[in-house]
Structure 1
Amino acid sequence: MTDDPPLPPWQMDWTAEARRVFDAMPADARRLVLAARAELVTAPDPYYRGIDTDASLPHWITVRPLASTNPGGPHIADLAGGRGWMIYTFIRRHAEPQITVTDAFWA
């Protein structure tokens, strides 16, 4: 066993309500959410902290803290210019870091 911190890909889990909303989305919306998921689980830091760190994201996704007063707390991934979003937290546990989606929406 090493003391090196874990690296991506991260695990991702959904609350029951967020998963229910995701499952009810139209197919094109689910594809965008799954593409955003792929970006999040492979990012070195799913919170994209710092200046221009999210510049590598596709143009249709932006990531920001849900509350500017809590930059280490829940984040929102806005999708398709605000048509939808995923709210998630990233828990950097030593053994098993995990992203948990707590809310999902598509208009």
Structure 2
Amino acid sequence: MGPPWQADWTKEAEDARTALPAEACALVDAARAELVTAKDPYFRGIDSGRDLSAGMSVEPVQSTRPGGAHVIYFDHGRGWLRYHFVPRITDPQIVIDECFWR
């Protein structure tokens, strides 16, 4: 299995996204697009994040859990999506559980 990955939003994250202004929604959609098309949604490896669009970066929520929740920052850190990747064989999926932009 490989990209594009399926992505799902928790109710709270979807509500936060729909409450954003249109220009912020476009930034969120661009960050989501980076996630679903990434070869490795956790962007592991030395050069794996270099293909991200300008103003985006990814890091694990806890450095001691590299396979756990991650955050993709967008708009030069003004916003982020917290997500985790479920690498099931039949239905791998990205679950976005937090959406924030200021």
Once the two structures are superposed, residues 78-98 of structure 1 have per-residue CA deviations (whole angstroms, 9 ceiling, x without a partner) of 111211100000010000100
Residue 72 of structure 1 deviates from its aligned partner by 0.4
Distance in 2, matches of 1:78 and 1:70, equals 18
Percent same amino acid at aligned positions?
A: 51
**Matched residue pairs, number?**
102
Structure 1 residue runs of 5 or longer lacking an equivalent are 1-5
SS in 1 for 2:24: helix
Alignment partner for residue 40 of structure 1, among 31, 35, 39? 35
Which segments of structure 1 move beyond 4 Å, counting only runs of 4 or more?
none
TM superposition score normalised by structure 1: 0.93
Distance in 2, matches of 1:34 and 1:101, equals 12
Once the two structures are superposed, residues 22-50 of structure 1 have per-residue CA deviations (whole angstroms, 9 ceiling, x without a partner) of 00011111101101111110111010001
Q: Any residues of structure 2 matched to 1:64-103 within 5 Å, and which?
A: 64-103=59-98
**What root-mean-square deviation, in Å, do the aligned CA atoms of Structure 1 and Structure 2 show?**
0.6
- Residue 18 of structure 1 is matched in structure 2 by 13
SS in 2 for 1:88: strand
